[in-house]
Amino acid sequence: MKRILVTGGAGFIGSHLCEKLLDLGNEVICLDNYFTGSKQNIIHLLDNHCFEMIRHDITMPVYIEVDEIYNLACPASPVHYQYNGIKTIKTSVMGAINTLGLAKRTKSKVLLASTSEIYGDPQVHPQPESYWGNVNTLGPRACYDEGKRCAETLFMNYHVQNKVRIKIARIFNTYGPRMNTNDGRVVSNFIVQALKGEAITIFGDGTHTRSFQYIDDLINGIIRLMATPDTFTGPVNIGNPNEVSVGELAKIIISMTGSKSEIVYLPLPEDDPKQRQPDIALARRELDWEPIVDLETGLKKTIEYFRSV
Ligand SMILES: NC(=O)c1ccc[n+]([C@@H]2O[C@H](COP(=O)([O-])OP(=O)(O)OC[C@H]3O[C@@H](n4cnc5c(N)ncnc54)[C@H](O)[C@@H]3O)[C@@H](O)[C@H]2O)c1
């Protein structure tokens, strides 16, 4: 039995990860400041004696004994990470320093939830890990993108200088039950609007693309990454290469919910990436992993969840 710390464990991805790690027979410590996460996401785990919850801000050091750390703490949607951009940068950078310091002291393995956003508005398509990205350092998304880029750099420096065992996962758009209803992410937005019969708001003309990965695939991918030999650090893309335009996604969701919503088009926000698709050759080779949940199956489960909340 391993003792595993999940920072950001009360969030969308974190709560699914805590659940899975407990199922696999581990002891799990979930650390969260509840900025975008909630007790509701983990309430069903609270009476499991192998689960512990710590209300803590990862910008401050944490002193516990652990074998593995998944560092997920950070708001992930533009509306939340732009609410206090300075705090977002501190969470990524100080959070990386604090979890790396803990990993160094306890000799534990530490995984960073990095992001496809480090590729910015990509000029290479699909994006392999070797692509350095195209990020505007001064734009409204920079607090998130540059915070994560700096976190990756810190991870690599702790690995090279201090021999800390690190793993860097570059996560692409992920969706599923327990996404926040009001954080502006496209899948949850469209489903909530469709279920309420409200107009579906597409930012741009609907031709820009994303590649959507179901939560279960992501969780399997990052657990496999954590289990790779110490010589493998990543970064490695974890995403679903099935690319779909935002306009198509809206039509699929309207049809699956049986909604009468119409589609309205609003201006595309500044620096919004026009296309996204992971190259997952490295994950296939090193993790023996690829996504298995197709869009329709994943959307069905997500729609069921939003109907129930
Ligand atoms: N969901 C995606 O599509 C996606 C894509 C790429 C990367 N990621 C990364 O995965 C991680 C989890 O994302 P998510 O979608 O679950 O988002 P989320 O907002 O649901 O979860 C983030 C969690 O971190 C907590 N948190 C935020 N700041 C904190 C702080 N200073 N101290 C302690 N806890 C803090 C929040 O309360 C929340 O529970 C994030 O690091 C995000 O950048 C997510």
Cα 261 to ligand 1 centroid, rounded to whole Å: 30
Beta strand 213-214 with 68-71 is: unpaired
Q: 6, 13, 215: which to mutate for ligand 1, most atoms within 8 A of CB?
A: 13
Sequence length of the chain is 309
Are 15 and 41 spatial neighbours (Cβ–Cβ below 8 Å)? Answer: yes
Cα 285 to ligand 1 centroid, rounded to whole Å: 27
Cα 251 to ligand 1 centroid, rounded to whole Å: 28
Which one of 70, 81, 119, 144 is the catalytic residue? 144
Cα 108 to ligand 1 centroid, rounded to whole Å: 21
Ranges assigned E (strand) in the chain: 3-7, 27-32, 51-55, 68-71, 109-115, 166-171, 174-175, 200-203, 209-211, 213-214, 236-238, 243-245, 263-266
Q: What is the pLDDT of residue 183?
A: 85
Q: Residue 193 pLDDT > 90, yes or no?
A: yes
Ligand 1 touching residue 173 (CB < 6 A): yes
Ligand 1 touching residue 188 (CB < 6 A): no
> How far apart, in Å, are the Cα atoms of 171 and each of 21, 144, 175, 217?
19, 14, 11, 11
Are 53 and 70 spatial neighbours (Cβ–Cβ below 8 Å)? Answer: no
Q: What is the pLDDT of residue 275?
A: 86
How confident is residue 154, by pLDDT bands cut at 50, 70 and 90? very high
Ligand 1 touching residue 72 (CB < 6 A): yes
Residues forming beta bridges with residue 245, ordered by sequence position: 209
Cα 262 to ligand 1 centroid, rounded to whole Å: 31
Instruction: Give the whole-number percent of the chain exceeding pLDDT 70.
Output: 100
Q: Residue 63 pLDDT > 90, yes or no?
A: yes
Distance CA 15, CA 18 (A): 5
Ligand 1 touching residue 74 (CB < 6 A): yes
Verify whether residue 144 is a known catalytic residue: yes
Q: Residue 181 pLDDT > 90, yes or no?
A: no
Ligand 1 touching residue 91 (CB < 6 A): yes
- Average pLDDT rounded to a whole number, residues 154-162: 98
How confident is residue 288, by pLDDT bands cut at 50, 70 and 90? very high
Tens-digit pLDDT profile for residues 254-287: 999 999 999 999 998 887 888 889 999 999 999 9
Single-letter amino acid, residue 55: R
- Average pLDDT rounded to a whole number, residues 281-304: 98
Q: 72, 80, 150: which to mutate for ligand 1, most atoms within 8 A of CB?
A: 72
